[in-house]
Amino acid sequence: MRGKHGNHATASAQHRWKPGSRVGSTGHVKVRVGNGHPLADPNGWAYEHILIWVAAGKPRPEKGEVLHHLNEDKTDNRIGNLRLMTRAEHNRLHNADKGRCAITGRLVGKGRAGRVLDGREWNEVPQ
């Protein structure tokens, strides 16, 4: 209990308490680990996929590295579904899926919207 009179509910006694995990703004699952945990953010939460990766004895992703979910499901955090890759490799992989150029990231082919100029549609990629 906290507060001047010791009557304030905290943690699990509070009416808004949500036990377990939650999905963050990026779609990845976050779990409560406490402020003292080395992988925790300032509020005591950590991404589940990073916790599982490190618990399996693998090195923590460095700056410029990401953990890719092979089946594209950000809530499926099995160790067999995770792969460490550089951010550049990850972007290249996802840009190819979206019909974008692997080098520039610009839309190419059928995914590119046509532009109408003087009543005529121009679909060529400018050089």
Q: Between the CA of residue 115 and those of 109, 122, 125, what are the distances in Å?
A: 13, 5, 11
CB 46 within 8 A of CB 37: yes
The pTM assigned to this predicted structure is 0.64
DSSP letter string, 89-125? HHHHHHHHHTTB-TTT--B-GGGSPPEEETTEEE-PP
Kindly give the residue spans of alpha helices, DSSP state H, lying in the chain.
48-55, 87-97
Domain extents for the chain? Answer: 23-122
CB 39 within 8 A of CB 60: yes
pLDDT of residue 3: 60
pLDDT of residue 111: 46
Per-residue pLDDT of the chain (127 residues; tens, 9 = 90+): 456 677 776 666 666 666 667 888 888 999 988 889 999 999 889 999 999 999 999 999 999 999 999 998 999 999 999 999 999 999 888 877 776 676 676 766 654 455 666 666 666 666 5
